[in-house]
Each structure stands twice: as structure tokens, then as C-alpha cells.
């Protein structure tokens, strides 16, 4: 159940990430090892939630900060191990943008498969007499609908222009 505080509702994600990172911090991992753990495990933890809900910006920034602190090292003799400057662009996700992309993907699924269960349920509840591209927010909308509707702008121009 998601209440008024969206940040508190999803803080369990942050706790899971914290547990994973704390479990690894006492191990001597190489930079490629850290990279694989961050990309394959830590960035995968919020993916399921991000495909349905718009996560709070503060939560996304805190998750990115936790990953950055883990990446840049642990205190070893009061010095942090650092990656050489010539190794930029490691491909860590911008979690806010990834969240928007996952929600836009849900919009795309609703548009391309109107006979799916989620498309039928949302259409009946929120846009019964209109199209997904022109929905109203409705009375007491769910967080799922608010999240998906918020990502609709990413697809609107392409769909209306006939690019899909």
C-alpha cells in the first residue's frame, strides 16, 4: 500500500541496496568486479518497481550516491582508492531517466497491445471514452496511473507523428 509519502513507501529498495553494498564492502574487489556487481545486481534491484511506479527523485539520487560511494572506494589507511581519470563513461544508469524509460515502455505496451489485461483495466478506469494519448487524471487516481500518465509525454510526439 502506497500512502502519502512515496519516499517512505519505497525506502525498502534503498535498504536492499544498502544490505548488498555492506555485504561487499569488506571484500577486496577489483574495479571490474565492483562494476559487474553494481551493474548486474544493484541496478537490477529497483527495476521491477521502476517499470510500474515513478520513484521519488530523492530516492534515485540517494541510490546513485550509495553506488558512487561504493565505486570510489573504501577507507584504506585514510585514503580512498581511486579510478584513473582515463576510465570515464562506465555506463552506470541514470536512475531517474531509466525510471522514465521503463514507464514509457509500459505506455508503449498499452498502445501496441490494447487487448492486454492492463490496457483493458486502465482504459475502463481512466480513459473509457478517449484514447490513451488524451487521458485525464481522473478521480483519486492510483500511483500506477499517475506514474504511467507522467511518462506519456515521451511517446506522444512519436505516436502522433506516425513514427511507430
Q: pLDDT tens digit string along 53-78?
A: 999 889 999 998 888 888 876 544 43
Last residue of a domain, one of 39, 70, 92: 92
- Both 144 and 106 in one domain: the answer is yes
| Assigned domain for 29 exists | yes
Q: pLDDT tens digit string along 74-120?
A: 544 434 545 554 455 566 788 999 999 999 999 899 889 999 998 99
Write down the pTM of the prediction: 0.76
Is residue 46 exposed (0-12), middle (13-18) or buried (19+ Cβ within 10 Å)?
Answer: buried
The boundaries of the domain holding residue 38 are 6-92
Band of pLDDT at residue 158, cut at 50, 70 and 90? low
**What local confidence, expressed as pLDDT, does residue 115 receive?**
93
Band of pLDDT at residue 2, cut at 50, 70 and 90? low
Query: Cα dihedral sign for 93, 97, 99, 100?
Result: negative
**What local confidence, expressed as pLDDT, does residue 141 receive?**
84
**Nearest by Cα to 54 from 94, 96, 21:** 96
| Assigned domain for 1 exists | no
**Nearest by Cα to 142 from 112, 118, 113, 116:** 118
Amino acid at each position: 500500500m502506497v500512502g502519502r509519502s512515496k519516499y517512505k513507501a519505497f525506502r525498502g529498495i534503498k535498504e536492499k541496496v544498502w544490505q548488498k553494498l555492506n555485504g561487499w564492502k569488506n571484500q577486496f574487489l577489483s574495479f571490474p568486479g565492483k562494476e559487474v556487481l553494481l551493474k548486474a545486481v544493484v541496478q537490477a534491484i529497483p527495476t521491477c518497481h521502476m517499470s510500474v511506479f515513478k520513484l521519488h527523485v530523492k530516492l534515485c539520487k540517494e541510490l546513485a550516491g550509495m553506488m558512487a560511494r561504493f565505486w570510489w572506494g573504501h577507507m584504506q589507511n585514510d585514503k580512498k582508492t581511486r579510478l584513473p581519470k582515463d576510465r570515464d563513461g562506465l555506463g552506470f544508469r541514470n536512475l531517474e531517466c531509466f525510471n522514465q524509460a521503463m514507464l514509457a515502455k509500459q505506455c508503449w505496451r498499452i498502445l501496441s497491445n490494447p487487448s492486454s489485461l492492463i490496457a483493458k483495466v486502465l482504459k475502463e478506469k481512466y480513459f473509457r471514452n478517449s484514447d490513451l494519448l488524451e487521458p485525464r487524471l481522473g478521480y483519486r487516481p492510483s500511483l500506477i496511473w499517475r506514474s504511467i500518465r507522467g511518462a506519456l509525454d515521451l511517446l506522444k510526439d512519436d505516436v502522433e507523428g506516425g513514427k511507430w
